[in-house]
Structure 1
Amino acid sequence: MLFALALLSATAPLATDMYLPGLPIMSESLGTTTVGVQLTLTTFMAGLGAGQLIVGPLSDSWGRRRLLLSGTVVLALSSVLCATAPTIEVLVAARLVQGFGGGIGIVLARAVIADRARGNSAAKLFGIMMIIGGAAPIVAPLLGGVLLGPIGWRGIFWVLGAVAVVMTIGVLAFVPESLPPEKRHSGGLSALARNFSYVVRNRRFVGYAATFALGFGAMFAYISASAFVTQDLLGLSPGQFSMVFAANSIGLVGANVVNTRLIGRIEVRALLRFGVTLLFTSGILLLTAAIVAGTERWVILPLLWTCVSSLGFVIGNATALGQSQVPSAAGTGSAVMGASQFGLAALVSPLVGLGGEDTAVPMALAIVVCGGLALTSLLTLTREPRDRTVGE
């Protein structure tokens, strides 16, 4: 079941990282600009946020399994539409629907774990799921770089459609219903409104959710700009970019492994604080390097690796700590976290492209801003005299 849930959670890296090496080629193929192609990332992230925000709360009333199956079917059909899109406008719209279907799987994968585990156990499960799902950002850009030549960017979307079919089979075979009828909320729209109110009025939940979303915002600043920075600015080939992207993903997975092994020995909130501090510090160094030595690979690439790796101590820990604040509305809590996560990513994506293709400064600046705000949220909104959540 954990492998099936991890595959669902890997929707975002699979559907973004696999076609990242082809972004420059797509802009030529569809006769559009860099910003136009980056809109396919923006709408995908917006769809991910919308799918989570709508379906997460519904699952607190309807259960998880049927909605999971619906999401994987939508993901498969929309991937076919992406593969056959004749214009950039159709592709942008298809990516919105693809994101919506993927968002269902992501939000409910988190909710299923929150249904079944608490405390350090939940933190470890989220960490293990990230380790398993972390293979996606390692394999996806390498696979995309290999497939881009033989089958083109359209063929990559056909592959994504096939992966969505595998997801559907995984849910059918391995993921039982985790929310029994007696634990579901009734009352229609009024119950949904109460759940939202309960979640967003919890100050500590909001702090952890903001830390989670801003950490992902920093990651997506890197994701959306990395193909252009490494290829157009640093002069790497698409294959070399895929190798760099995979190396950064290995750093992220390695940090997740270390983080998971430390849970139980070190308080989860302390591990989260370390990760956010490392993200902010390495982001400042990256911004300085982008201004002073913007085309030096040996400076830019190691700092990018550090920024990405630091998130191994952020995403899983912030998820577990946030979900632990709202155990009676796990679907709604997961939806709010996911919507804020991908909504921010949708905002960051076009902003990092405004500076053009010959500088890494916008990407580095976005990482610094997200890292600084994440650290501020963690230190101000989640602080209490005694932490009574995960890790106690």
Structure 2
Amino acid sequence: MTHCVSAAPSRAQPYADRDETTQTTDATPTSTPGDLMSREQRLKLVLVLGSLIAVGPLTIDMYLPALPAIVTDFATTSAAVQLTLTGTLAGLAIGQLLIGPLSDAVGRRRPLIAGLLLHIVASALCVIAPNVAVLGVLRVVQGLGVAATAVVAMAVVRDLFTGSAFATMLSRLLLVMGAAPVLAPTLGGGVLRWTDWRGVFVALAAFGVLLVALATLALPETLPPARRQRGGVVATVMNYGGLLRDRVFVGLVLVAGLAMAALFAYVAGSSFVLQDTYGLDEQEFALAFGAGAVGLIGATQYNVRLLRRYPSQWILVTSLVAGTVAGLALVVFAATGVGGLPALLVSLWLVLAAAGLAMPNAPALALSRHGEAAGTASALLGAVQFGVGAIAAPLVGVLGTGAVAMALVVAGGMVAALLVLLVVVRPSRLAGLEAAPAVAVAH
């Protein structure tokens, strides 16, 4: 395989080596390693990281069309099967807390490859799971493995970029990884035409093998030894303690997590609502689910254009207000049945679009404050996002599998995110945050 970042520095001279001794200044933002990359190099980096990070959404979404079939096969309840989704999200949350500090200590590549190998093993074992309880445990292990891709991709981008450039790169990365939610249910539906739900996990294991090769051959190390964290468990605890004492950072992490909760409430409930309540078949559900993902992706890319004219904090506030309004409308349509399926889908699309604007900007603003521990900060961010998502998914099942239950949790996530931003973070505290260079200092 050719080196997918061929124009970039080799592993012997990674991107980050160009900026090992960069120090922050009081007034003028310093250059970052990403500033030295050409447009072609940035595009190749996005494609590599996007391919790697796509395994997360695929692991979460690809088996969604099969959820009703799994209920029947294991003679269990929809709530029990939804817990297998919760298990994946919980594994993602816990795994990121472990892998983030590890990637700050030993570099980005080794934790990434180890996580992918764990994901492959867990996917293969899911194929022979004898009951829903074992499947749920294996989904936790899948989440632990795939957590490495989420942490490392975010940390690599933060190693190379900061401020609005970080938000722009993250939006581009979301374009690539956003194809996964669009394709995943469709791919899952295609697999189900030829085999049963177990075939989905065969496909995930095969994809994991390809990603190990990609990570081994195409991703350079972006964290040189001089900038790696030292001190083991004590340093890790201190890093997490420092992050948790930063009220603005914690608030922005909660905002990102609650926006993710709205997204995962839709993921957890959509297959039951659209197939059982509205009578869509597996292929029709895949198309409807994909249409929502297109709205999410389109918003992330429109965010790049907005960043040229408006600051991230303005976009974040506006998107959460719009998402709250759309979420409340969704509850009304679900409860009254006014407008039928079209009104339900349109309001869902608007919520997802609002989340697509919020999701790149909240992490960019949060991580701009802590470039010295990008892996740990990214881990805490990801853990909260998927942890809150892990709570939201079964909450939909507890409330019921109907449209009202899903709508309440989706809208609740957006309302809570807006309240946290206004009360905990306070938009006035974000003024000028993007201008802070927050470049990692050599240790």
TM bucket by the smaller chain?
over 0.9
Q: Following the alignment from structure 1 to structure 2, what is the Cα–Cα distance between the partners of residues 391 and 218?
A: 30
1:321 to 365, 368, 393: 365
Number of corresponding residues: 391
- 1:1-392 maps to which residues of 2 (within 5 A)? 1-293=45-337, 296-357=340-401, 359-383=402-426, 384=428, 387-390=431-434
Q: Following the alignment from structure 1 to structure 2, what is the Cα–Cα distance between the partners of residues 365 and 197?
A: 34
Q: Following the alignment from structure 1 to structure 2, what is the Cα–Cα distance between the partners of residues 391 and 83?
A: 49
Please say if residues 313 and 430 of structure 2, whose CA atoms lie closer than 8 Å, have aligned partners that are also in contact.
Answer: no
Match of residue 26 from structure 2: none
C-alpha distance 327-299 of structure 1, shift in aligned 2 (>3 A): same
Superposed CA RMSD in Å reads 1.4
1:67-122 deviations in Å (ceiling 9; x for gaps): 11101111111110111212111111110100000111111110111111111111
Please say if residues 251 and 424 of structure 2, whose CA atoms lie closer than 8 Å, have aligned partners that are also in contact.
Answer: yes
1:305-332 deviations in Å (ceiling 9; x for gaps): 1111211101111111111111111111
Q: Following the alignment from structure 1 to structure 2, what is the Cα–Cα distance between the partners of residues 210 and 135?
A: 25
Aligned residue type for 2:310: I
Q: Following the alignment from structure 1 to structure 2, what is the Cα–Cα distance between the partners of residues 56 and 142?
A: 32
Q: Between the two proteins, what is the percent identity of the paired residues?
A: 39
Q: Following the alignment from structure 2 to structure 1, what is the Cα–Cα distance between the partners of residues 51 and 358?
A: 20
My pick for the range that moved more, 373-382 or 300-309, is: 373-382
Q: Which runs of 5+ in 2 are unaligned?
A: 1-44, 437-443
Q: Give the TM-score normalised by structure 2.
A: 0.86
Q: Following the alignment from structure 1 to structure 2, what is the Cα–Cα distance between the partners of residues 4 and 316?
A: 18
Q: Following the alignment from structure 2 to structure 1, what is the Cα–Cα distance between the partners of residues 256 and 430?
A: 21
1:276 positional shift: 1.2
Please say if residues 51 and 100 of structure 1, whose CA atoms lie closer than 8 Å, have aligned partners that are also in contact.
Answer: yes
Residue aligned with 1:314, SS = helix
Q: Which runs of 5+ in 1 are unaligned?
A: none
My pick for the range that moved more, 85-94 or 2-11, is: 2-11
My pick for the range that moved more, 3-12 or 86-95, is: 3-12
1:295 positional shift: 8.5
Aligned residue type for 1:23: L
My pick for the range that moved more, 254-263 or 376-385, is: 376-385
Which is greater in Rg? Answer: 2
Q: Following the alignment from structure 2 to structure 1, what is the Cα–Cα distance between the partners of residues 243 and 55?
A: 25
1:207-244 deviations in Å (ceiling 9; x for gaps): 11111000000000000000000011111111111000
1:284 positional shift: 0.3
Q: Give the TM-score normalised by structure 1.
A: 0.97
1:188 positional shift: 1.4
1:356 positional shift: 2.8
